[in-house]
Amino acid sequence: MAERIRLVFGGAFADSDERGDVDTRGRRERGTMQGLFFRDARHLSRWRLHVDGRTWEPLDADAVGYNRAVFTLGGAIGDGIDGIDAILTRERRLGAAMSERFTVTNHAPRERELVLCLTFDADFADLLDISHGQAQDQPVTRTVSGDRVRFAYRQGDFCRTTTVCAPDAELTGESASYRIRLPPGGRWTTEVRVDMLAEAHGHTWPGPNLSDPASEAQDWLADTPRLTTDWPDLDRAYRRCLADFAALRFHPDVVARSWMPGAGVPWYMTLFGRDSLITSYQTLPFLPGLCRTTLHALASRQAQHRDDERDAEPGKILHELRHGPAAYSGRRPQSPYYGSADATSLFLIVLDEYHRWTGDAALVRELEPAARAALRWVEEFGDLDGSGYIKYQTRNPEQGLANQCWKDSPVSVLYPDGRLAPLPRGTCELQGYAYDARLRCARLARAVWGDAGLADRLERDAAAFRDRFNTDFWLAAGGYYALAIDGDRRLVPTLASNFGQLLWSGIVPPERVDPLVGHLMGDALFSGWGIRTVATGQAVYNPVAYHNGTVWPHDNSLIAAGLARYGRHAEANRIAGSLLEASASFGYSLPECLTGQDRRETARPIRYPEACSPQAWASGSVLLLLRLLIGLEPACPAHVRRDVLVDGKSWSVTLDGLPARVDADDRS
Spatial CA neighbour of 614 closest among 595, 596, 584, 587: 587
Per-residue buried b or exposed e for 513-536, using 16+ beta carbons within 10 Å of the residue's own CB = beebbebbbeeebbbbbbbbbbbb
pLDDT above 80 for 27: no
Least confident of 24-33, 308-317, 389-398, 602-611: 24-33
Tell me, what's the pLDDT at 212? 55
> Dihedral, CA atoms, 401, 405, 411, 412, nearest 10 degrees?
160
CA distance 503 to 508: 6
pLDDT above 90 for 209: no
- For the chain, the first-to-last Cα distance in angstroms comes to 51
Q: Any residues with CB less than 8 A from the CB of 139 and at least 6 apart, and which? A: 153
Which residue type does 195 have?
D
Q: pLDDT tens across 90-123, in order?
A: 999 999 899 999 999 999 888 989 999 999 999 9
CA distance 468 to 649: 42
**4-205: what CATH class?**
mainly beta
Tell me, what's the pLDDT at 668? 31
**What sign does the dihedral 493-497-498-502 (CA atoms) show?**
positive
Spatial CA neighbour of 431 closest among 396, 474, 402: 474
Helix (H) or strand (E) holding 374: helix 368-376
22-23 vs 480-481, strand pairing mode:
unpaired
Helix (H) or strand (E) holding 428: helix 428-444
Q: pLDDT tens across 606-656, in order?
A: 999 999 999 999 999 999 999 999 999 998 888 999 999 999 999 999 999
Q: Is 143 helix (H, G, I), strand (E, B) or coil?
A: strand
Spatial CA neighbour of 252 closest among 297, 282, 295, 289: 297
Q: pLDDT tens across 218-269, in order?
A: 777 778 999 999 999 999 999 999 999 999 988 888 766 688 889 999 999 9
CA distance 294 to 287: 12
Q: CA distances (Å), 173 to each of 28, 41, 137, 143, 150, in order? A: 24, 20, 17, 7, 8
- Record the pTM: 0.95
Q: pLDDT tens across 307-318, in order?
A: 999 999 999 999
pLDDT above 60 for 664: no
Q: What percent of the chain has pLDDT over 70?
A: 95
Q: Which CATH number fits domain 229-666: 1.10.3720.10, 3.40.140.10, 1.10.10.10, 1.50.10.10?
A: 1.50.10.10
CA 544-545-550 angle, to 5 degrees, is 65
The string of DSSP codes covering 33-83 is --EEEETTEEEESEEEEEETTBPPEEEEEEE-SSSEEEEEEEE--TT-TTS
Q: What percent of the chain has pLDDT over 90?
A: 85
pLDDT above 90 for 210: no
**Mean pLDDT rounded to a whole number for the chain:** 93
Tell me, what's the pLDDT at 18? 95
Average pLDDT over residues 498-514: 98
Q: What secondary structure letter does DSSP report for 499?
A: G
Which residue type does 288 have?
P
Q: pLDDT tens across 37-95, in order?
A: 999 999 999 999 999 999 999 999 999 889 999 999 999 875 655 678 899 999 999 99
Average pLDDT over residues 410-417: 97
Q: Is 599 exposed, middle or buried (0-12, 13-18, 19+ CB in 10 A)?
A: middle
pLDDT band at 215 (very low <50, low <70, confident <90, very high): low
Spatial CA neighbour of 576 closest among 622, 612, 617, 607: 622
Spatial CA neighbour of 575 closest among 644, 647, 497: 647
Instruction: Find the radius of gyration of the CA atoms of the chain.
Output: 26
Domain ranges of the chain: 4-205, 229-666
Cis peptide leading into residue 637 (ω within 30°): no
Q: CA distances (Å), 368 to each of 73, 115, 253, 364, 449, in order? A: 58, 65, 22, 6, 8
